[in-house]
Structure 1
Amino acid sequence: KAVQIEIQHLYLEAMTIARDKRSIIEHGFRLHFIRNFNAAVRGEQSKHNSSNDDADSEFGLVAPDELEESIAIQEMSAKLKGNCREGLFGLDKRMGVLLHDPDLESHKNPLGSDVLANAFLEACRETEASLKVRLLFVTMWDKHMQNGAVSMYQEVNQYLVEKGILPKIKREIKRQGMSQAVEIMAAAVEAMAVSEDEGELFSTMQHLMSAAMARGTLPGMAQGAYAMQGVPGMPVGGMAQGSVIGGVPGGMPGGMAGGAPGMAAGMLLAHNPIVLTQLTQLQHGDAGVLGAGVAVDAAGLVAGNVSILRDLKHTELGASLGSVDAMTIDIVAMLFDFIFEDKQVPDPIKALMGRLQIPVLKAAMLDQAFFSKKSHPTRRLLNIVAEAAIGWDETIGHESPLYRKVEGIVQRILDEFEDNLVVFERALDDFERFLEEQERATDALVEVSVEMIETREREQIKTEDAQNAAEEAVRARAADIEVSDTVRLFLCQEWIKPLRAAYQLGGAESSAWLEAVGLMDDLIWSVRPKLSRESRQYMVKTLPALLRRLQEGMTKAEISQEARDQFMSQLVKCHAAAVKAGFNPSAEPQPMPEDAWKAAVLARQAMQKQDAAESAVVLPFVRPESATDRREVKLEIIKSNADDAKLEVEEITIGSVGWMDQADIDEQSDSLMPIATTSDLEVVDEVEAKHLVDELKPGVWVEFSHQGEDRLQAKLKWISPLKNAYLFTDRQGKRAATMPHDKLEAAFRIGSVRIIDDLPLLDRAVDNVIESLKQAAA
């Protein structure tokens, strides 16, 4: 009721705007029509006036409102073309003469339906009405303006004829020396171009099939029920009532003997009601309708693991087929050929889908939009079943909830479907509710996994911040070339640990951090040359306390006893050298004026900076993760433990990289090693791998591969905003997998992970059929 009230309000609003802003719409239409007309004459193309293919490829790049308007323009233009087919056919030819383009395509016609549709929508946009109201305006146009458009195109054609522009248009394409088969092929190809331009995909398939038959190259089938002796493409025993071949009623090649190529896009469905009844009986298990001694594999139909559709043409049922029905059988059979060969759908699920061959054939016979309309309920059901099979655990087999659900839906369709496609819609709704329940099961694992990953990443960030602070504190002191190598190595590899721990515990203002930094400063001072008596005396006085503090610090930092003993023995030598430097008479400092002393200090600091830059002191810091770990590509598998509600985390290595990152280069060398991978995996370069990972969005399915383990198909559910960790889950919600951004890039590089093609199964199947027919017709 609420929806009806909303619709009533929209209609009232639309009528009010149409009345109050009529002059704006009329003026805008004239203005935009003239502008679009002139643009088309100049060979330019308006922003909405593009081919269907171009529009389809860009739908994912536009806003939803623009997408709906673009679809409305296409549908409005298609209806105009359908109602004004004859007038537009003549006008395309005559405008082609005027524009010196005899092969002018209909969407480039300055007076074509695209120009009218664009001008009207642009005029409606100037009323500043909402999108829903503008779409209602389109509905009003379709209701009230179609007949006016037909008359307009008739008058324009008549005017051009009176001016001597193509008074007669030759429709036949027969040329001297052409065989009858070649005539049919040429007619089919010409009609095909018209049907493709007008978006009639089923007509396109029919024409391609006619052209392939004319060449004798029809893929995967014999000429069968629509091959008459001597004339490829004609049905046995003559034409069935209302049948269509080559785009023209009665079976004449499109464009020949009075037929019009424009008829192609309006092909009629010529199925015999008796055929549908017999197919329904066969669907219910009555193989007797096929006649005695039939070659159809009835057991295979029940099992769903073989294609049986083409065999129907060689039965008693096939004798009553019209040409369109016969072609429909072959096209649907080609679709199922693709389904049976598809590698993404597991065989048990394929078998269930194969049991739907007869219902899908009937759906295609009843509604040819099945081939072109991606939202068709039959197509959507097949697509969603195939998508749900991705990541299915085949080890569970027929006891799997997914398998049992699909099996139940298939049986319901077999039992209930006769000629009402609502059966598919209800099955689709039921299956989508089932998948939503399955999704909720995975959400529980995702929730606890996200909490675990975020906690770990926060700790990683704290560790990285602490490491950076510790390295900066050491770098500011150990980069001085006067610091001995012994002390420098100790600070970078051992003392960095208590510095990192102190910062992570309390930050740069904590007493532990200040104590660790102060001890480091005192240690560095203790090994510098003691050139004055006072400095030597101060060292003797403070050295015992320094050594005691140093021992305590190393104990807290859990530095190994061996490393401590080795450092302390080297430190004794450093202290002795520092004291000994003070007994060199030439080294005793002489008093100097304060200004001279300051100038000497500044000069010494500048020299130290220059020497440091030239010497490029290497600071061999030790980081929490080793270089070996960085080169291993690891995947963490997360499982929930039902007994204690804890997560089980298992880390597996799915490969290793042979290159070194910048940290490795700093520590080792500039050389790069080749990628370590196996020959059966598809590797990509660094740029492509980065692009693949950056473009990943939640909902994408991937497959992880590693030797000695089953492949893991998982769906991307979440990307961490903290450190870009990627979380995947399997179909059942029993396992999750996580991997950081850099390791995922590495996995793509060595081929240990790939993106599973997300194009719907029937979309891929239809594209494959069209491509096969095009190659056969070429």
Structure 2
Amino acid sequence: MKTDANVVHLTKVASEHPPTSPVGRLPVALIQVRDKAAVQLKQALQALFDNADDTLFEMADRATSNAEQNAFFEAMRDLRLKRKSIERGFLQNVFEAFATLNQYEIGRPAPLDAVSYDSLSLVQNDELEESVAQDAMVAKVMSRDSLSLGHLTTRLNAMVSKKLDDKSNPLGPAALVGFFLQACSSLGVEIRVKLIILKLFEKYVLGDVGQLYADANQALVQAGVLPELKSTPPRRANVRAPAGRSPGETASAQEAFGGELGDEGVREVFGALQALLSQARGSVVPQRDVPADAMPITSNDLMRLLSHMQQRAPVQVSDDFDLREQLEQLLSRASAKSGKARVVGEVDEDVINLVSMLFEFILDDRTLPDSLKALIGRLQIPMLKVAVLDKTFFSRGSHPARRLLNEIASAALGWGDQDEAQRDSLYLKIEQVVQRLLNDFVDDPTIFSELLADFLAFTGDERRRSELLEQRTRDAEEGSARAELARREVEHALNERLLGRTLPEVVVRLLQDAWSKVLMLCCLKHGVNSPEWEAALATMDDLVWSVEPHEDPQSRMRLLELVPGLLKSLREGMASAAFDPFSTGEFFNQLEVLHVQAFQRFKRVVPEAEKAPANDEQIATDADELSLPLLELPPVEEELDMPAMVEVVEEIVLVAPGESRSPEPETVLPDDDEAVLQVDNLRVGSWVEFQEDEEHKLRCKLAAIIKPTGKYIFVNRTGMKVLEKTRMGLAVEFRRNAIRLLDDALLFDRALESVIGNLRRIKGA
């Protein structure tokens, strides 16, 4: 990259004076290091930008407001537009940093003016957040790759005139982050977006910078630069660290220090647990009198004893089963047989006590169904054997045995106690896992990884099926909620037009039984603000007006104009709602009679008003003048039966098919009531247990909160709806202690936390 054409360095001015060392040109080996590093950094930056869109889009999808979402979308657009300039600026900064390695420094920059704390602004707070993130990124790299970076800095100092340290090394993490921030200075994004971009830089650029240092050191060694410095073997690129492994446990660190870092962390965690256990001995763990010359058994002997117990473990683990007591009996027999007192070593005894206390918590845990506690309790000896073999069992959350226990407990969360003959596939699967461990596990812990993979595959299939059914349940409930809202809108429209009026019974029945369905369909398809909804309401208004008594001539003309279009709208609407054709015909026959009677009233009223006889010919003439249709009316002498009239005095209530709508009066509690607050704290996905009666409990998960209707929908483990409650209905259940929240945190972690808390309380007592 050429920069000399546009940039004039101040150091070039100093070159006119006689220097004490050569100026400007870099050694060939260093140029090779620079160019290769530039290629690697460019590839890493491209990976960053390739993944930035997905990351920012995901953040936008999780945004809680439109403003926040728009900020992420704007950042995506800005990043796309400025991607090339950022890449170019970053690499230019790297090249310029290398170019100054063999140039004199003119002087140090002037010290910054003192800044008053009172003058700090929001912008400076943003800069503080940025600085903290930058320091954390640099510290992470230094903790991981400080040895290889230190060797690279030493080799650079042997080749250039400028004195370097890890911070001023052009390839050091501090310099690289600074170059990137400088290149990103044109981005107009908020600090939270900037921090996300910095995280991406840490993942895709700094995440593999150790490989860059290893390659640079190797190139300089081949060029003969300080070959006596023994750098660590290069760590191959792997942006995503293995699950459960912290930065301090990466492969390069373990190779550099012989795996001591990982072992040290394990020893530290288990050592802290031992310190707590030692304080608690005698109060939690019963101590026995042993001779002073008692010999501790080896861990291998302990494993053999545990395997013997494992083969003879009871099918049902009762509350009075004590693993330590069983082991003590075996030790007593071994001591009597050998003639020497044998005891468990201190470390192994602490492991036994800790696992025993963990399983005491598990077997007492109310979250686990009782019938599954018996199965899980049988895992105590296999878990103890794993802990004896591998102390990371207590400190590493990703340990296969620990994960297997947690996954079994998570799957069992929604399982209800069932009869022997009704045990489902989950129970049988857990039983199969337990039996396999009891039969096959001796001293090879890889069996836990195999069983974990198999169990995860099983629960994954079950979860996908339940999620599909759960989604269908949610969709159905949301559809029911929309229908309920539409039904309320239709009820309101009907009551607004009919309540308190006296109308022909057939019209009231037509509107309530038939036209209500047309309105429902229109509301669901188009909404209450649509022209279609307004047209349906107008048809209903016209129908009501057409059957009411009117005496003025203008009403006669309006009726003549209205009836044909009204009948057409009614027929089309009822056909669209698939209303029963036979009932439709009956309605229209009766409606025709009503309209004929209305025109007959006009025939009687008009002659009286004009004091002149009226006949069909005159009516026809009037109709011709108005260009209105003429109805064929029966002779005046033929009196039609007057229609049955009804007064609408009660509110019209529409009931969904197959439902009876007789709402029971519901207890209303204030919003600040403790039980109501408990309901409001419920989240979708929360598991609860309902005490239906003295003998039956129902475990279910909150699948949806239907806000329009205020319903809380609960499903069972398979995703099928099992319960529906209102907010106040749930509050009443909480008030009478008929609902219990189930803790869905990881079982082993909860047990370990509880045991440690108890031990600390004993220590502090």
Shorter-normalised TM range = 0.3 to 0.5
Q: TM-score, normalised by structure 2?
A: 0.48
Q: Name the larger-Rg structure.
A: 2
